[in-house]
A = this chain, B = another copy of it.
Amino acid sequence: MSGSAPKTNSGRFFEDFQLGDVIVHATPRTVTVGDVALYTALYGPRFAVQSSEAFARAIGYPAAPLDDLLVFHIVFGKTVPDVSLNAVANLGYADGRFLKPVFPGDTLSTTSEVIGLKQTSAGDAGIVYVRSIGRNQHGEIVLSYARWVLVRKRSPGMPAHAEQVPELARAVQPEELGQGCPAVELSAYDDALAGSPFRWSDYAVGERIDHVDGMTVEEAEHQIATRLYQNTAKVHFDAHAAQSSRFGKRLIYGGHVISLARGLSFNGLGNAFHIAAINGGRHVAPLFAGDTVYAWSEVLASAELPGRSDVGAVRLRLVAVKNRPCADHPLKAGDQYDPSVILDFDYWALLPR
């Protein structure tokens, strides 16, 4: 290959994606206790299973697993240079399943398959649907999720791909949950150490929980987090270029908001120690440095896991809000989201029974 070939990655445009393509993403990543410490320092999570080797081993894990969202961010970060460098918008997630716990020392890598393509009516961009798979060093799938993004076309006039939109379940089914959680030794599960007396059966469908606390975000914090995930999306890092952007400043990685809200949710959901699945998520509005994030949750459903009496699943809507407390559970006014809402996230958590 000649020295004059362009060496830098300018990202794929809509035309560059073909249905069925499998993309091997760069930079496998060994996760360590260093990542765990940083994750704690960035979000302040207090779930005992991830915080304590002793607690995790007592209830049946071989070691303290990584926070599920840390796994998500690292698996996700690898897809950015190949999938969303030219994305106009991150439209949604679906069918995210955490299938194996991840431990310090594991090496994560990601591949993505193009599962859908749909040009916009304006013809200058298109929606790309991918299924991304995170694997550990043994090739075992630790996380699988679908995501769709709006990607610019290189040449607006080019003819469109044949349209193909995948069917994605609105929610992961309870039968599919729990593979990422070993059998839990309930007799060793200590509510006082876990920080909550409320178990699976204590959460009623329709119940709303204000997580009370607020967390203000600094530029240094979200940049440190997003680099930790080796996520290279320019909008999070380049204040100079951002000056001429729509918002005039850096945007905070949406995953940072999810982790902040999840961290806050400990206050009310202390035993919801494992995210088993992500049903969907919508970044309703952007977050900027200086904003303060609050959160509340609604119990959407509750389910037993087939064949398991140790843990049960609760389907939760986790709503993150900026610059106002959540005692009144802000969400929508009519069809529109309340202007304070920044995240509407739908997931399954496991709790001890």
Q: Which residues of A contact B (CB under 8 A)?
A: 1-5, 7-10, 24, 26-30, 32-38, 40-44, 46-48, 51-55, 64, 81, 104-105, 107, 109, 137, 192-198, 201-207, 209-216, 218-221, 223-228, 230, 232, 234, 237-241, 250, 267-270, 290, 292, 299, 323-325
Residue of A4, A206, A237, A269 contacting most chain B CB atoms (<10 Å) = A237
Known: A41-B225, A239-B292. 15 other contacts (CB 8 A): A1-B197, A4-B207, A5-B202, A8-B268, A26-B48, A26-B192, A26-B194, A27-B51, A27-B195, A40-B227, A213-B234, A213-B238, A220-B224, A221-B223, A224-B224
A190 and chain B: residue at smallest CB distance:
B24
Give which listed residue, B3, B223, B232, contacts A299 with CB less than 8 A: B3
Closest 8 CB pairs of A and B: A3-B204, A34-B37, A26-B195, A44-B227, A240-B292, A220-B220, A32-B33, A28-B52
Smallest distance from the beta carbon of A177 to chain B beta carbons, Å?
20
Given contacts A29-B52, A30-B51, A30-B52, contact A41 B227 (CB under 8 A): yes
How near does chain B come to A298, taking the closest CB pair, in angstroms?
12
Interface pair A109/B193, CB less than 8 Å apart:
yes
In the complex, what distance in Å separates the CA atom of A178 from the CA atom of B36? 32
Contact of A212 among B2, B8, B47, B52 (CB under 8 A): B8
| Copies assembled | 3
Most central of A33, A192, A269 by chain B CB within 10 Å: A33
Q: B268–A7 contact, CB under 8 A? A: yes
Given contacts A36-B34, A232-B44, A299-B3, contact A54 B137 (CB under 8 A): yes
A329 to B283, CA, bound (A): 37
List B contacts of A196 (CB < 8 A): 7, 26
B238 near A216 with CB under 8 A, answer yes
Name the residue among A1, A7, A51, A210 with the largest chain B CB count within 10 angstroms.
A7
From A8, A207, A241, A270, name the one whose CB has the most chain B CB atoms within 10 angstroms: A8
The residue in chain B whose Cβ has the minimal distance to the Cβ of A138 is: B54
Is B52 a contact of A204 with CB atoms below 8 Å?
Answer: no
- Specify which chain B residues have a CB less than 8 angstroms from the CB of A325 in the assembled complex: 241
Q: Are B46 and A207 in contact, with the CB atoms below 8 A? A: no
A-B contact pairs, 12 of them (CB 8 A): A1-B198, A5-B202, A7-B196, A7-B198, A26-B194, A27-B46, A33-B33, A51-B230, A81-B195, A214-B237, A216-B250, A239-B292
A218 touches B223 (CB 8 A): yes
Kindly provide the distance from the CB of A213 to the nearest chain B CB, expressed in whole angstroms. 6
Q: What is the bound-complex CA distance between A203 and B299, given in angstroms?
A: 57
The answer to whether B27 touches A224 (Cβ under 8 A) is no
A193 contacts B37, C-beta separation under 8 Å: no
A30 touches B64 (CB 8 A): yes
CB distance from A106 to the nearest CB of B (A): 9
CA distance A34 to B214 in the complex (A): 26
